[in-house]
């Protein structure tokens, strides 16, 4: 349990740095992948992980601090992603990639819609069609493309931290 | 019967034959013979030399291959190091050129004080067009300070921590900059969009706006200093039933190639919030 929380700090810190310096620059139209969201989704889907909620809260606060978007948007968005992942982890465990794709698709949509709503309600009116076509759809596609490698990496990390117990 | 010449006669005959041979040689009568002999000698020497070198190669090649392989490995390492150096130097040259342009801009606009900064990240949200720079409050950066490059206005500082700051680009959808058209001295408002395109709004219907007009900051509102270059008009939309004209703007700054910025540190933006009337109780 404690190991998982300790690992969250370097993993999420590194993910945020990679997101702001590299991943955010790889654009499809005006969309970009969200590495932190993918890591949270993959982490939440691991059966033996028990601290995914803490990861979600830490990531939400961290990215919310870096971003110009209010912190609560990322906090809520990432907690939704973790919640969905925990929900699916116990239901479609036989098809982890399917679960990963589902969480990525819905999680990205939820997070970007939250961002869109926050901006539209409190800052500036944004055209929904343009936002959907130029940002939300391309971001979902990029996240789906990155979902498989991120899932593989996080699964390996989780297996190292929480090895399966051998029944003698 | 044995015939014998006197010894002196033999000597004379030999001398005569020798003199005759020398005379014939000097006369060029032996050229075919000497050239044949020379060719034969050279061919023989060539054959011997070639065979010798072949044998020598055969005996020394294994040692040479080993040394050549070692030398090749050393050279490959050296080439890799040099290539790294070349890339490093090319990057430094590019950075130097950019910084040189920024210094030229600062010299051409001495009324402002500047702090140079490098962009170290982008905002994680694709809805926002913000960049993160590597200087902050420890270097005297404050929220609201305008940010420029040698090409013109970039945006303004949005938030600051000790060693970093977040800059809102003027292409951000929530960005609004008061500008004026240089040719007609018409006031307008520059706004960003979710796609990063810039447009002019609030242009009076009476104003003459043409493609190519230069757009500068007006200084109105006190958020930005006046006369900073913004871009050029690329198209105009004027409809009779609308209150204002609109125009699309090509920014002078290439926002996809931003690397280094200048923060204007001696410009204090005016906080007009207290002047805005709020509904009473």
Do B245 and B123 share a domain, yes or no? Answer: yes
Give the residue numbers spanning the domain of B44: 12-108
Q: Is residue B6 part of a domain?
A: no
Q: Is residue B7 part of a domain?
A: no
pLDDT per residue over B44-101, tens digit each?
989 998 888 888 877 776 667 778 888 999 999 999 999 999 999 998 998 888 888 8
- The residues near B214 (Cβ < 8 Å, ≥ 6 apart) are B181, B182, B183, B229, B231, B232
Do B123 and B166 share a domain, yes or no? Answer: yes
Residues of A numbered 108-137 whose beta carbons fall under 8 angstroms of chain B's beta carbons: which are they?
A: 112, 115-116, 119, 123-124, 126-127, 130-131, 134-135
Domain boundary among the residues B79, B108, B137 is at B108
What's the ipTM? 0.90
CATH number at residue B119: 2.40.10.350
pLDDT of residue B263: 93
Whether A130 has a pLDDT exceeding 50, the answer reads yes
Q: Shortest Cα distance from B166 to chain A (angstroms)?
A: 8
Nearest-5° Cα angle at A82, A81 to A88: 90
Do B134 and B43 share a domain, yes or no? Answer: no
Whether B207 has a pLDDT exceeding 60, the answer reads yes
Best residue in A66, A121, A130 for a mutation probing chain B (most B CBs within 10 Å): A66
What's the rounded Cα separation, in Å, for the pair B247 and B228? 19
Q: In the CATH scheme, what is the code of domain A2-161? A: 1.10.1760
Whether B3 has a pLDDT exceeding 70, the answer reads no
Domain boundary among the residues B69, B87, B108 is at B108
Structure tokens at B38: 């020379």
Q: Shortest Cα distance from B125 to chain A (angstroms)?
A: 7
Q: Is residue B281 part of a domain?
A: no
Contacts of A69 in chain B (CB under 8 A): 123, 125, 127-128
pLDDT of residue B160: 93
Contacts of B143 in chain A (CB under 8 A): none
> Domain residue spans in chain A?
2-161
DSSP 8-state class, residue B205? T
pLDDT of residue A167: 58
Domain count, chain B: 2
What's the rounded Cα separation, in Å, for the pair B227 and B230? 9
B189 CB near a chain A CB, below 8 Å?
no
- The residues near B154 (Cβ < 8 Å, ≥ 6 apart) are B147, B148, B167, B169, B170, B253, B255, B258, B261
Do B100 and B187 share a domain, yes or no? Answer: no
Whether A31 has a pLDDT exceeding 80, the answer reads yes
Do B103 and B132 share a domain, yes or no? Answer: no
Do B24 and B40 share a domain, yes or no? Answer: yes
pLDDT of residue B1: 47
Whether B197 has a pLDDT exceeding 60, the answer reads yes
Buried b (16+ CB within 10 A) or exposed e, A92-127: eeeebeebbbbbbbbbbbbbbebbbebbbeebbebe
Query: By percentage, how much of chain A surpasses pLDDT 90?
Result: 67
Residue B55 exposure: Cα atoms within 13 Å on the Cβ side: 6
Which residue, among A144, A73, A80, A142, has the nearest Cα to A107 in the 3D structure?
A80
Q: Which residue has the tokens 């920014």?
A: B251
CB B141 within 8 A of CB B166: no
Q: Does the pTM of the predicted model rise above 0.90? A: no
Q: Is residue B260 part of a domain?
A: yes
Q: Shortest Cα distance from B121 to chain A (angstroms)?
A: 4
Q: Which of A97-111, B42-56, B96-110 comes out lowest in average pLDDT?
A: B96-110
Do B77 and B151 share a domain, yes or no? Answer: no
pLDDT per residue over B7-42, tens digit each?
888 889 999 999 998 888 888 888 888 889 889 989
Do B216 and B145 share a domain, yes or no? Answer: yes
Q: What mean pLDDT value characterizes chain A?
A: 90
Domain boundary among the residues B87, B108, B129 is at B108
B122 CB near a chain A CB, below 8 Å?
yes
pLDDT of residue A41: 94
Do B101 and B137 share a domain, yes or no? Answer: no
Which residue, among B277, B199, B206, has the nearest Cα to B238 in the 3D structure?
B206
Q: Is residue B71 part of a domain?
A: yes
Do B72 and B194 share a domain, yes or no? Answer: no
Q: Shortest Cα distance from A90 to chain B (angstroms)?
A: 30
Mean pLDDT, residues B112-134: 92
Straight-line distance from the first to the last Cα atom of chain A, in angstroms, rounded to the nearest whole number: 23
Q: Is residue B276 part of a domain?
A: no
């Amino acid at each position: 349990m404690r190991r998982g929380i300790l690992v969250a700090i370097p993993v999420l810190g590194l993910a945020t740095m990679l997101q702001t310096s590299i991943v955010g620059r790889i654009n499809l139209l005006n969309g970009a992948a969200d590495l932190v969201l993918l890591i949270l989704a993959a982490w939440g889907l691991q059966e033996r992980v028990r601290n995914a909620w803490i990861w979600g809260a830490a990531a939400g606060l961290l990215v919310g601090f870096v971003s110009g978007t209010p912190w609560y948007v990322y906090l809520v968005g990432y907690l939704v992603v973790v919640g969905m992942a925990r929900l699916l982890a116990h239901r479609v465990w036989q098809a982890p990639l399917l679960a990963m794709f589902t969480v990525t698709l819905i999680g990205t949509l939820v997070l970007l819609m939250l961002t869109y709503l926050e901006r539209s309600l409190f800052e500036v009116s944004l055209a929904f069609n343009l936002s959907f076509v130029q940002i939300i759809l391309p971001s979902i596609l990029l996240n789906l493309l990155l979902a498989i490698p991120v899932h593989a990496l996080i699964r390996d990390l989780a297996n190292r931290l929480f090895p399966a117990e051998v029944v003698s | 019967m044995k015939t014998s010449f006197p010894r002196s006669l033999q000597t004379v005959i030999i001398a005569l034959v020798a003199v005759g041979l020398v005379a014939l040689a000097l006369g060029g009568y032996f050229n075919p013979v000497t050239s044949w002999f020379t060719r034969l000698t050279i061919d023989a020497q060539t054959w011997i030399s070639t065979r010798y070198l072949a044998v020598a190669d055969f005996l020394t090649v294994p040692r040479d291959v080993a040394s050549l392989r070692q030398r090749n490995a050393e050279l490959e390492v050296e080439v890799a190091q040099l290539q790294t150096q070349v890339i490093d130097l090319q990057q430094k040259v590019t950075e130097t050129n950019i910084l040189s342009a920024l210094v030229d801009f600062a010299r051409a606009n001495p009324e402002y004080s500047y702090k140079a900064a490098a962009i170290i990240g982008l905002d994680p949200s694709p809805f926002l067009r913000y960049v993160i720079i590597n200087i902050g409050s420890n270097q005297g950066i404050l929220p609201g300070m305008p940010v420029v490059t040698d090409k013109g206005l970039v945006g303004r500082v949005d938030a600051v921590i000790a060693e970093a700051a977040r800059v809102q680009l003027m292409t951000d959808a929530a960005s609004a900059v008061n500008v004026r058209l240089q040719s007609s001295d018409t006031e307008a408002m520059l706004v960003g969009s979710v796609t990063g395109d810039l447009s002019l709004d609030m242009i009076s219907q009476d104003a003459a706006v043409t493609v190519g007009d230069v757009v500068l900051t007006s200084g109105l509102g006190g958020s930005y200093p006046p006369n900073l270059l913004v871009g050029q008009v690329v198209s105009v939309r004027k409809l009779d039933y609308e209150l204002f004209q609109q125009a699309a703007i090509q920014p002078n700054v290439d926002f996809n190639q931003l690397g280094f910025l200048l923060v204007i540190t001696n410009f204090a933006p005016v906080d007009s919030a207290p002047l805005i009337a709020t509904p009473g109780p």
